[in-house]
Structure formats: structure tokens, C-alpha cells
Amino acid sequence: MSKKDIKVPNIGEFKDVEVIEVLIKKGQKIKKNDPLITIESDKSSVEIPSSDNGTIISLNVKIGDKVSEGDKIIEIESEKEIKETSAQEFLKNQLQKEIKKNDVKKSNESRNIIVEDFSAKASASPKVRKFARELGVDINKVPGSERQGRVTESDVKLFVATKSDKSFKYQNKTEQKIEQEYSHSDFGEVDIKDIPRVKKLSSKYLMNSWTKIPHVTNHDEADITELEEFRTSLTDIYTGEKKKITPLAFIVKALTTSLKKFPNFNTSIDEIENGKMTVKRYYHVGIAVDTPHGLMVPKLRNAENKNISLISAELKKISQQCRDLKIDKKELFGGSMTITSLGGIGGSFFTPIINYPEVAILGVGRAEKKQVFMDGKFVTRTMLPLSLSYDHRIIDGAEAARFNNDLKENLGKNFAYKLAV
């Protein structure tokens, strides 16, 4: 064996390029072409491979260092004298023996493809490798969809999605083992109670949603100053008494209007039909109701055909039915999109979990008065926090932002009076 320095090769005219990843450590055995570090310039990121086999004696760079051609990366004990017999070579030899034994006639190109399937090194760009590492994915296990099995970012996302259920089951088993190792009563006095039936039923749907849907949440605020002034001024035309209509009724009507304009939010992914999605032509808004038994989500049917007064009355009716456990089970299914409001309790922004199989959910916080800069001066306005979680497989960030903007307009001063009609 002999010592050898592995240096930065010719990387073109670039100098003082930043090291963004160190992929090896001292004492590690490496092979020729194994990636050592990733460097990033203004234009691209590149992995620097090893030029030899050996064991790393010293590591001469760290993340954040600037390197140029000829700079020392590592020092190794070279193993050139030792003939390398890799797993790929072994498999290649075994395949060739099988081919000869069975007298299978295939072209050299076909044989190469078979051997490459067993390669321990996936073909992917540094950007895709970095993306996989950030997700904790071994890129060598990801099937590539491009030519010669090259792995793309979409392949990594698909791999994560298909493995999420299995990994979650594994995590559940691990947690169960930890709980079995110690009893809670070993640490003090405890009470054992049954989990409410409603919570048991809803937990599997929440878990299914969280593991299957790639959630993203868009946070924004709606100016509802004029809407609140209008809402609190409403009176019964017959008795002259003030009408008690909650802001939620206005939000339901505003949301329905936005759903008409953005039909992707009124869909469901039908996984049984191989990735097809169902576009709903009805507008049944789910309302998350906090009950002593747990969270329930009844549907306010055909909200687009109802005025604010009727929506308000139905909200009270279905909420009470949930609290009394008199709601029909069917009324908990078949929704367009759900609203979950914490306004009556408190809080501002949060990350609501999508009510599967819907693709979006609107979280509403407590409205509060704020100083807002308008027309060259600060004025007091009533602002409503909005947290829109959406399924990134169907809805992208730009569309979510446009949806929130439209919803804000529907809750604003130019629309409040129309909603009451």
C-alpha cells in the first residue's frame, strides 16, 4: 500500500468554488469514482469523484471551504495492488455463466443493460442526489424513469410516496416496543380511560391523510373590516332585532364562490383509477365541529344556492346534531372542501390537516384589529388569519396563492353586501 493525495481535478475556469457537501469521512473505504464532495458555483453544482481506491487517512476540506483545481481533498492509503472484486463484477460473472449455460443469444447491448441494473451507483445529477439526501432517501434504491435508469426528482418523490405507508407502520412498531419497555405507572399515579369512539374513528382518516397527502400550507390575512361592520349591523326586518350571524357563514359563502372559480380545489384523487381525479360539480362545504366526543366534520350541502341567513341557520343545526350524536353518518362524507375555525377559541395561523379524500382545507384564526398601511398612512383594520393547506399533487403554490387572493376579495368590502343576498 502507498499513500496518495486526491485533489480537485480540472473544473474549468472556476476558482474558489464553495464546498456545499462532504460525502465521506476519515477511515472510510472508497472506490474509484465514488463521490467525495459537492461544489457549487453560481451556475451549477458538481460532485467531485475519487480518482483511486483506498482508505481515507485525512480529510482536508469542510463545508463552506473554497476550492480550486489542484487543492487537496483527502489523503488515502491506495489499494491499487489489490485486485477489486465488486458486487457488480460478481453478478456480472454469474450472469455470463448463466447465459452460456442456457445458450441464450442476446446482443452485447442487452447484456450491458442487465448488468447495469445491479449497479450499486445510481445515475443522477448532483441536484437530484442532494434532494434525495435531504429527504433521507437512499438514491441507489430509487428506480429511474429516464434513459438507462437515470433518476429524476419526480422519481424520488414517487419513491417517498409509495414507501410512506410502510415506513409509518415500522415507526408504529418501534413506538409500541418503547411503550412496552416501561409502564406509565412506573413513574407515578395514572388513570386509564377509553379513547372516545369518535376520536378512534377519525384517527385512521387523519393518519391516512397525513401519510398519503403531501401537505403545503399557504398563510395569508383577509381584511374583513367592512364585512364585520355589515354583519354586526344586520337586523330582522320584521322584529327589528339584531341578527346573530357568525362570520363563519360569510366565509362559507365566500369559499363557495372561490371554489367555482378554481375547480381544482373541488376535486378528489381516485387512486383506484390509476391516478385519475374526480371533479365535483356540487358544493358541499365541510365544517369542523368541536364536540365533547371529538372532532366531527358534517357537510353543509349545496352552499352555493343558500343565502347567508340560511347558511347560518344550517350551521347551528348540524353543529348541534354532532354534539348530540344525532348526525347521519352519510353527512360526514362527500364534501368539496372543509373549513376549520379556531376563531371562537383563539390563535392565528396553524397547519390544518386535509380531510381525505378532499384536496384542500381552510383554517381560520381569530380576527383582530391591526394597524395597516393604506393610501399613504396607517389605519386600523380588522384582519382575519387564513391558513390554506392543499394537496401538492393537484394544486401548486401559485394556484394556492391565487385562490387565497380571490377568497380575500370575496371577504372584502366590495363583496360583503352581495354575499348577504
The CATH number of the domain where 37 resides is what? 2.40.50.100
Q: What pLDDT, on a 0 to 100 scale, did the predictor assign at position 33?
A: 85
Q: What pLDDT, on a 0 to 100 scale, did the predictor assign at position 108?
A: 41
Q: What pLDDT, on a 0 to 100 scale, did the predictor assign at position 219?
A: 96
Domain assignment present for 359: yes
Q: How far apart are CA 407 and CA 261, in angstroms?
A: 10
User: How many other CB atoms are there within 10 angstroms of residue 273's CB atom?
Assistant: 9
Domain assignment present for 179: no
Q: What pLDDT, on a 0 to 100 scale, did the predictor assign at position 83?
A: 45
Assess whether 18 and 94 both reside in one domain: no
Q: How far apart are CA 52 and CA 32, in angstroms?
A: 4
**Rg of the chain on CA atoms, in Å:** 30
Residue 17: name the closest of 80, 76, 61 by CA: 61
Which sequence positions are flagged as catalytic? Answer: 392
Q: Tell which of 20, 49, 78 closes a domain.
A: 78
Q: Which domain holds residue 16?
A: 2-78
Assess whether 229 and 299 both reside in one domain: yes
Assess whether 60 and 116 both reside in one domain: no
Assess whether 261 and 355 both reside in one domain: yes
Q: Tell which of 46, 78, 110 closes a domain.
A: 78
Q: What pLDDT, on a 0 to 100 scale, did the predictor assign at position 114?
A: 34
Q: What pLDDT, on a 0 to 100 scale, did the predictor assign at position 138?
A: 82
Assess whether 395 and 291 both reside in one domain: yes
Domain assignment present for 172: no
Q: What pLDDT, on a 0 to 100 scale, did the predictor assign at position 296?
A: 93
Assess whether 303 and 374 both reside in one domain: yes
- How many domains does the structure of the chain reveal? 3
Assess whether 274 and 399 both reside in one domain: yes
Assess whether 66 and 108 both reside in one domain: no
Q: How far apart are CA 40 and CA 342, in angstroms?
A: 45
Domain assignment present for 228: yes
Q: What pLDDT, on a 0 to 100 scale, did the predictor assign at position 396?
A: 92
Contact 135, 159 (CB under 8 A): no
Mean per-residue pLDDT pooled into runs of 10, the chain (421 residues): 84 78 87 85 74 90 88 83 46 53 45 37 75 79 81 82 57 50 79 82 83 92 94 86 91 96 93 76 96 92 94 95 92 95 88 94 96 93 96 93 96 65 49
Domain assignment present for 186: no
Domain assignment present for 184: no
Assess whether 296 and 402 both reside in one domain: yes
Domain assignment present for 190: no
Assess whether 38 and 125 both reside in one domain: no
Q: What pLDDT, on a 0 to 100 scale, did the predictor assign at position 276?
A: 83
Residue 269's domain is classified under what CATH number?
A: 3.30.559.10
Assess whether 350 and 367 both reside in one domain: yes
Assess whether 276 and 210 both reside in one domain: yes
Domain assignment present for 388: yes
Q: Tell which of 104, 134, 158 closes a domain.
A: 158
